[in-house]
Amino acid sequence: MERTAVAFAPGHISGYFRRIDGDTPRTTGSCGAGLVIDHGVTATVRPAEQTSVVITDHLLTGDPLIRYGSGLIEELLGSFGVSAAVETVADLPIGAGFGMSAAAILATLTAANAVFDLGLAECDIAERAHALEVSCNTGLGDVAAAAGGGLAVRTAPGITGVAARMFPEIDLCTVTFGAMFTPDIIGSPDRMRRVSAAFPDRLPENFAEFMENSRQFAEASGLIPQKIRPVLAACDDAGVPASMTMLGCGVFAAGDDAPEILAGFGRAVPLKICPHGPKILEM
């Protein structure tokens, strides 16, 4: 019987980042910090004559939307000389700053590694996923963060750049109004100059400092869309720590009061910090 593997990889909400360009994808990426979340991508991989990809995305309403084809996944499998029928299910909207592209690559490669006996160690999977994400400009630091769990602080580009992972027991919540096209933003030298200048000076030592850094960065970076201003203002009025989901048109917030405030603006999705990176669910 032909083998099928199912793997999950967590998403990642970037709080702040700075693009770093190296000579190779391995040394290109970002520094920054973000939250690895318990919502991500589940990938099912079954060997097939030809590669096909069926993506289940989730709309802002939470309703599923099926899409066909993914250049990212096709390139990934092609680079290993294998072909498969792949199904990916993204728990949150794609393109809205939840690191769904990184999660899709990590989950698919984790499952493909099992099905095709590729012999990759966890760090090899992360390395290949990072190289693909960076070369396609769909993200810079999401793979490095999502390769493990927690609040990930990255002080150098690439998968070896994670300096600390913290695991605070915090209730998180997010509301999103939709996508921001990541390649246009991280591919713009002007935008990246302002982002670099906004990068915080201090490394966060705890969750509260991470939230402060994130918000200060968001304000100084010039990236905040008008649409999320009222949400941030309502959080500020209620003393709820909140910032922008980089790079998407949405807000993430922390604590008991966050769900009620965010629900006033759209579908509030409760989240937890994910304690682990990619893993096989079924084989």
Ligand X SMILES: Nc1ncnc2c1ncn2[C@@H]1O[C@H](COP(=O)(O)OP(=O)(O)O)[C@@H](O)[C@H]1O
Ligand Y SMILES: CC(C)(COP(=O)(O)O)[C@@H](O)C(=O)O
Residue 20's φ and ψ, nearest 5 degrees, are: -130, 125
Candidates 111, 117, 108, 136; CA nearest to 29 is 136
14 binds, among ligand X, ligand Y, none (CB under 5 to 8 A by kind): ligand Y
CA dihedral of 121, 127, 128, 132, whole degrees rounded to 10: 160
Q: How far is the CB of 83 from ligand X (least distance, A)?
A: 16
CA gyration radius, the chain: 18
Nearest CB to ligand X, comparing residues 44 and 88: 88
32 binds, among ligand Y, ligand X, none (CB under 5 to 8 A by kind): ligand Y
Strand partners, 269: 174
Query: Is residue 126 classed exposed, middle or buried when 0-12, 13-18 and 19+ CB atoms within 10 A define those classes?
Result: buried
Integer angstrom CA distances of residue 25 from 101, 135, 174: 16, 7, 31
242 binds, among ligand X, ligand Y, none (CB under 5 to 8 A by kind): none
Nearest CB to ligand X, comparing residues 88 and 213: 88
Q: How far is the CB of 192 from ligand Y (least distance, A)?
A: 10
Residue type, 255: G
Strand partners, 151: 35, 166
Tokens of 125: 């999977």
186 binds, among ligand Y, ligand X, none (CB under 5 to 8 A by kind): ligand Y
Q: How far is the CB of 94 from ligand X (least distance, A)?
A: 4
Nearest CB to ligand Y, comparing residues 141 and 150: 141
- The answer to whether 211 touches 142, Cβ cutoff 8 Å, is no
Q: How far is the CB of 124 from ligand X (least distance, A)?
A: 21
Residue type, 71: G
Nearest CB to ligand Y, comparing residues 185 and 281: 185
Helix (H) / strand (E) element for 43: namely strand 29-47
Return the percent helix, strand and coil in the chain, to nearest 5: 35, 30, 35
Tokens of 49: 């004559």
Binding footprint of ligand X on the chain (CB under 6 A): 41, 55, 70-73, 88, 90, 94-102, 104, 138-139, 182, 248
Q: How far is the CB of 236 from ligand X (least distance, A)?
A: 25
- The answer to whether 90 touches 108, Cβ cutoff 8 Å, is no
Nearest CB to ligand X, comparing residues 250 and 255: 250
Q: How far is the CB of 245 from ligand Y (least distance, A)?
A: 8
Q: How far is the CB of 186 from ligand Y (least distance, A)?
A: 5
73 binds, among ligand Y, ligand X, none (CB under 5 to 8 A by kind): ligand X
Nearest CB to ligand X, comparing residues 234 and 249: 249
Q: Give the pairing type, strands 172-179 and 248-254.
A: antiparallel
Nearest CB to ligand X, comparing residues 72 and 159: 72
Binding footprint of ligand Y on the chain (CB under 6 A): 14, 17, 30, 32, 34, 97-99, 101, 138-142, 182, 186, 246-248
